[in-house]
Amino acid sequence: MASDAEHSGTVNHRDPALRAGTILIDGDIAHGIRGWALRLALGACAALAAAISMAEAPVVGVTSVAGFVLMLLVIGTAAAPGSVVPMLFLLAVVLYRLVPNGSLLDGGLVALAALVPIVHQLAGLAAAIPVRSLVSWRVLRPAALRLVIVVVPVELALLVYRLV
């Protein structure tokens, strides 16, 4: 274990690209977003999913206990993405779909089918990234790629089904 505490020695040059307040990753200046921006995005996606769920189930109402709980879950998802709250939120979204609204494969389902995995992924990433960390854009690329690969075929299938 002691070998993990590596002190490789000294660097005898200064990188001219490194200015006050900047960080270089593999020699390039790090650009990206802050960790809290991920949580904001997560909150926005969760709020959108909640809004669509509520709109799809008008009989429940926004001012009901269920609506209030859903709003609390949205806030909790953004505030504590590493906890059980995002799971409860997704379950609440699923349960909202149980309320009969006539059409089963409607536009709301198309939107929610994309938003649910986005909320899941953003919650996973936001829980793993410190709030004040500078997140390089390249960090988000693999997750975005997986999301596109998974969501796009399902969305296309739903759209084709609706058109047919």
Partner 1 sequence: MTTRSPDVDGPAVTGAFRARRRAARATPPRFGSWTRTAAWYRAPGVAALAIGIGLAAGRPDLVVLVVPLLLGWVAALLATRPLLGSRTPRAALEVDESSFGRNTADVVTDLVGTGGVELVSVAQPGIQTGPVGSMVTVPGGAPERSVRSRFSTRQWGMTTVARPDLLGAGPDGLYLSGPVRHGPVRVDLVLGEVQPIEPLGLPPILGGWAGAHVSRRPGQGSDLVDLREFAPGDRLRSIHWRAYARHQRLYTRRTLSDADAEIMICLDLSVMLEPRRAGAPGGRAAGASRAVTKAIRTLLDRIAERRGDDGPERRRERERRLRASSLDLTVAAASAVAAAHLGQGDRVGLLTASMPRRMVRPGTGNRQLQRIRHQLALLEDRRYRLIDVSLWGLAPGQIVVLCSPMVDGAVTEAVLSCQARGHRVIVVDTLPLSGLLFHANAHDSDHLRVLTIERELRLDRLRGSGIPVLSWDAGDISLQMATELQTLRRAR
CB of 19 or CB of 65, closer to partner 1: 19
**Total site size for partner 1, rule CB under 8 A:** 74
Q: Footprint of partner 1 on residues 48-107 (CB under 8 A)?
A: 82-84, 86-87, 90-91, 93-95, 97-98, 104-105
**C-alpha closest to that of 55 among 107, 105, 90, 91:** 107
Q: Is 40 in the site for partner 1 (CB under 8 A)?
A: no
Q: Tell the smallest beta-carbon distance from residue 70 to partner 1 (Å).
A: 15
As a whole number of angstroms, the distance between CA 122 and CA 152 comes to 17
Q: In the chain, how long is the greatest CA-to-CA distance?
A: 71
As a whole number of angstroms, the distance between CA 69 and CA 73 comes to 6
Give the x/- contact pattern for partner 1 in 128-157, rule: CB under 8 A.
xxx-xxxxx-xx-xxx--xx-xxx--x---
